[in-house]
Amino acid sequence: MSLSYVMASADSPWSTYLAQIERVLPYLGGLARWADTLRRPKRTLVVDVPIEMDDGSVRHFEGYRVQHSLTRGPGKGGVRYHPDVTLEEVMALAAWMTIKTAAVNLPFGGAKGGVRVDPVRLSIKELEKLTRRYTSEIGIIIGPHQDIPAPDVNTNAQVMAWMMDTYSMNVGATTTGVVTGKPLHLGGSLGRVKATGRGVFITGREAARRLNLDLNGATVAVQGFGNVGSAAAELFHQAGARIVAVQDQDGSIADPRGLDLAALVPHVRAHGSVAGFTHAEPIDAEAFWDVDCDILIPAALEGQLDAQRARRVKARLVLEGANGPTLPGADDILAERGVLVVPDVICNAGGVTVSYFEWVQDFSSFFWNEDEVNLRLDRIMVDALRRIWDTADRHRIALRTATFAVACERILMAREERGLYP
């Protein structure tokens, strides 16, 4: 791929991010002179990840680690294992992390990683080998003060444990703060697993108040039922909402009376998908976007909500649990239709916020209880959203542009104050 980062493939996540940057430029004043630092990742690393398979053959996988910005602190961002991972995608995800950490005012920059692999096709031993070799390859740029990975699509606490152990063995000292999202007994934080979904709920709760939408009796449709989608669904259900549709990569189900989450969650845990759930009606994948609901939560992959689907959405409120799920054209259509979109860079920032808590706890070796974690998360998310909403009201702009305005001002002010070296 060309290293001309200002260019991007049409409809790619990177092109979506660049379009979002263009929309925020009029609100940056004199800081706009530094805007090119937002359009160009600071560092990209492409690595070969060879491993010996269980059958004795050797396979090579391509891995990435992108550090978009380190201006406000160490890089922060997850690692995903997916057969469709590309460098452009990882660049965009790293850039969104830069915006996200600044939006909630965490002392981090933005980074992201990935390996192009279908982890379902690997044994546990092969997955461990892949993780350890990938960690060793990117070890030259990660560290508790440089860049801190975390779980993302198809990675989890076990993968983080392998990464932490590999890095620690290579530097000769146990370094729990090199990753977040670890198992509790290896320096993980209570509340981390459901933090992203909880953040979606917190921002959704605040947005519903603005819309005078009572969550008790509200209807919710969720795309993606992993850690984010399932946690958000459970919290909305506890608040009295009905989850009327769920979609994942293998199936879509609906029930206007409300899905039985107590039965659905263990079904997904056992079978890996909502497909085959007998207590709801299976629906066509495209029909999911026509479901009658008050709140839509896209919590799967990027680029899911395009212009065509945006015209069909019946929800009053869209909560972006995934990164980059709404294309710029769809944003415009939803705005014209009066649909409120709470953007990913604030809506799903609960995960990185509790990752920050975990990082802080690792350095101090003093750990908080779950109530304290959740209380601190709620306070930070509400305060950040209030600042963003004030900006949106003042300029009469969409929440996404307002979030970028708040975040980019912080990033570019730090860039200006640090200056250029040499």
Which residue numbers are catalytic?
112
Structure token digits, residue 127? 């997955």
The answer for residues whose C-beta is within 8 angstroms of residue 90's C-beta and 6 or more apart is 64, 65, 66, 112, 113, 114
On whether the CB atoms of residues 96 and 320 are closer than 8 A, the answer is no
Q: How far apart are CA 362 and CA 189, in angstroms?
A: 9
Please tell me the distance from the alpha carbon of residue 78 to that of residue 81, in angstroms, as a whole number. 10
Could you tell me where the beta strands, DSSP code E, fall in 255-314?
281-282, 295-298
CB 87 within 8 A of CB 46: yes
Q: Residue 82 pairs with which residues in a beta bridge? A: 116
Q: Which helix (H) or strand (E) holds 59?
A: strand 58-69
What span, in angstroms and rounded, lies between the C-alpha atoms of 334 and 3? 34
Please enumerate in sequence order all residues whose Cβ is within 8 A of that of 120, keeping only pairs 6 or more positions apart, or say none.
none
Other beta carbons within 10 angstroms of residue 43's beta carbon come to 15
User: What span, in angstroms and rounded, lies between the C-alpha atoms of 101 and 351?
Assistant: 10
358 vs 340: CA distance, rounded Å = 32
Handedness of CA 197, 201, 207, 211 (dihedral sign): positive
Which amino acid, one-letter code, is at 187? G
